[in-house]
Structure formats: C-alpha cells, structure tokens
C-alpha cells in the first residue's frame, strides 16, 4: 500500500502544474461560497501541509538557522528592497498615469513572504529550516517594516494588526512545524516513508483544497475586459521577476547550494497576497487592490512551473553525471 501511494505521490509530483491548474479553474467555474466553514478548511489544510513538510526536519537544524540569521536577512533585503523597486519601476513603465495601479504593484511586492513558499520549497528539495526561519522572521518584522516603507514611498502612514498576523502565523506555521519536528526527533526520522507516500499524497490534496477555496474567493472580484488582460500581462512580468531575482540572488552568495537556491527562489518569488489585499482595501482606493487580486491567479501556477523546471534540471544533471 505504501509503495502504491509512494508511486502516486511521485506521479502527482511530476504533474504539479495540473494539481494547481485544475483547482484554480474549478474555483472560477464552480466556486464554493466563501463562508467560515471553508475558511477553516483552508486553514486546517494549510496547517497539515506545514506539519507534513516538518516531519523531515530536525529541531536542531531549525534552531541552527535561527541562530545564524544572516542568510535570512540576505533574502529579506531582496524581498523588501530590490523586488519592490523592480515592481514600482515596471508600474511606471506600463502605467505612468495611474498612481493606484503603481501603488498596487508596490504593496504586492513589499508584503511578507507567502507561507506556501515553505510547502513548495519542501516539495522541491529546498532548505526547509531556512524557509521556516524566513517566514517567521519576515512576519515578525513586517508590521514594523511595511508601514515605514509605504510611508517613505507614498507619504501615508498605516498601522497593521500585528496580533492578527502573529496568531495566523502561530496556528498555520509555528504549531504544526513544532509538532512535525518533535515527531521527527521522537521517531528518529523513521517517518520518511510516510512523508513520501501517504503524507505526500494528502499534502497535495490539501494544496488542491487551499487553491480551490482561494480561487473561489477571488473569482467574483474580477470583471474581465481589455484593461484587465493588459494588467494580467504586466503582473506576469512582475511575478516572473520575483522568481528570477530569487534564483540570481542565490548565486551571489559564496558557494552554490541547490537546496538554498530552491528556497530563495520561492521565498523571493511568493508573497502573502491575502495580507496585501486586506491592506489595499483597508487603507487605499479599491483600484489599488486590483493588481494584488489578479496576482493571486499567477502565484501557484508559476510555483508549479518553477517546480517542473527544477525537476527537469535535476534529471538533466543526473543524466550528465551518468554519462561521465
């Protein structure tokens, strides 16, 4: 049974683009009503994915990353410094007369790391302890950093509900991560077969649910016309830029580590769009929220495309090593 599920997990792993695309399309074609029930399901699904990803991590490795935060700070420099500048510049090029759209690009690039970056990093052999420390540190400093950043650029000071952010982080990341790492250490890593079989399949189903529920939530907010199509194309440029920036930022560091590269690609490329949407709708005109809403359409599909590219590169490298 475990062998069968392990093969299923490997099969789905090679087709992550479709695992992401199908629920995204379903969310537009047959959306579920956005209720508290489905919000809880999405939260529980995400917590489970974090738990499953943590079953392969030692607490010692995670604490080691936290005790040496220079690598995390390096990523945050690109996330909150370089990427917002790139996004705002792209906004100036394509929307020189639309301040709201430019501001939407800026906020969308300056918000914290998307927590799903941890899941994608885990599925693609990334440095998961580094992903966890980056998500944790970024969420802790964002309530202080993001308002200051927006105040400098647009001259408007905002306040972020730090308690809400920390509570969400606690239940979706901290608790399931600690449980997973404790279980890993207690079982001395004997749950690896579970992670690669039952855990892998159920994690991908949980990801399916999360994407479907989120797609259902944003579908009613989009009115399709020419201006939206143009905006989608520009957002694609911004979104791809994030992944490319993460890739090159890993090569600047001394010594190239493939696991670190994977983590930096996803950490720099993915954002907490739900938070960005709340900020935009709360403190700015509705038009500011449009780029952030539409960027949700790209985040998971692009993550799946990156996953396929990484797997293709790994296969090519293995073939080259066999030939030599």
pLDDT digits (tens, 9 = 90+) for 174-216: 788 889 889 988 887 777 777 778 888 888 898 889 888 888 8
The answer as to whether 318 is a domain residue is no
Residue-range definition of the domain harbouring residue 92: 2-313
**Per-residue pLDDT band at 272 (split at 50, 70, 90):** confident
Least confident piece of the model among 82-86, 95-99, 225-229: 225-229
Whole-prediction pTM: 0.81
The answer as to whether 324 is a domain residue is no
Separation between Cα atoms, residue 208 and residue 197, nearest integer Å: 17
Contact 271/112 with Cβ under 8 angstroms?
yes
Q: Hey, what are 226's tokens?
A: 């020419």
Separation between Cα atoms, residue 302 and residue 190, nearest integer Å: 33
> 84 pLDDT exceeds 70?
yes
The answer as to whether 249 is a domain residue is yes
**Per-residue pLDDT band at 296 (split at 50, 70, 90):** confident
The answer as to whether 299 is a domain residue is yes
> 310 pLDDT exceeds 70?
yes
Q: Hey, what are 127's tokens?
A: 């440095």
CA nearest 107: which of 83, 123, 126? 83
Can you tell me whether residue 61 is helix, strand or coil? helix
The answer as to whether 87 is a domain residue is yes
Confidence (pLDDT) at 240: 95
Separation between Cα atoms, residue 235 and residue 247, nearest integer Å: 19
The answer as to whether 319 is a domain residue is no
The answer as to whether 14 is a domain residue is yes
Q: Into how many domains does the chain fold?
A: 1
Phi, psi torsion values for 113, nearest 5 degrees = -60, 140
> 155 pLDDT exceeds 90?
no
The answer as to whether 323 is a domain residue is no
* Residue 284's CATH number: 1.20.1530.20
């Amino acid at each position: 049974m475990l062998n069968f599920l392990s093969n299923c997990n490997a099969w789905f792993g090679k087709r992550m683009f479709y695992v992401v695309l199908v629920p995204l399309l379903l969310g537009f074609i047959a959306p579920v009503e956005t209720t508290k029930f489905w919000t809880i399901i999405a939260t529980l699904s995400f917590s489970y994915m974090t738990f499953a990803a943590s079953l392969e991590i030692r607490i010692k490795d995670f604490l080691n990353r936290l005790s040496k935060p220079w690598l995390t700070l390096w990523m945050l420099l690109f996330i909150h410094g370089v990427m917002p500048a790139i996004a705002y510049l792209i906004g100036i090029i394509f929307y020189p007369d639309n301040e709201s759209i430019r501001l939407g690009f800026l906020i969308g690039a300056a918000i914290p790391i998307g927590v799903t970056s941890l899941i994608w990093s885990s599925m693609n052999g990334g440095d998961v302890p580094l992903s966890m420390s980056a998500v944790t540190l970024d969420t802790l400093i964002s309530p202080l950093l993001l308002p200051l950043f927006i105040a400098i650029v647009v001259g408007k000071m905002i306040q972020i509900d730090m308690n809400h952010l920390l509570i969400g982080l606690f239940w979706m990341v901290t608790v399931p991560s600690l449980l997973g790492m404790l279980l890993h250490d207690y079982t001395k890593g004997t749950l690896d077969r579970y992670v690669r079989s039952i855990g892998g399949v159920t994690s991908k189903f949980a990801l399916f649910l999360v994407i479907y529920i989120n797609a259902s939530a944003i579908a009613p907010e989009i009115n399709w016309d020419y201006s939206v199509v143009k905006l989608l194309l520009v957002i694609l440029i911004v979104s791809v830029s994030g992944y490319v920036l993460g890739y090159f930022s890993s090569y600047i560091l001394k010594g190239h580590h493939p696991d670190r590269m994977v983590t930096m690609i996803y950490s720099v490329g993915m954002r907490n769009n739900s938070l960005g949407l709340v900020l935009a709708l709360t403190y700015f005109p509705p038009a500011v929220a449009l780029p952030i809403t539409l960027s949700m359409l790209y985040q998971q599909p692009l993550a799946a495309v990156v996953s396929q590219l990484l797997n293709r590169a790994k296969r090519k490298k293995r073939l080259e090593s066999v030939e030599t």
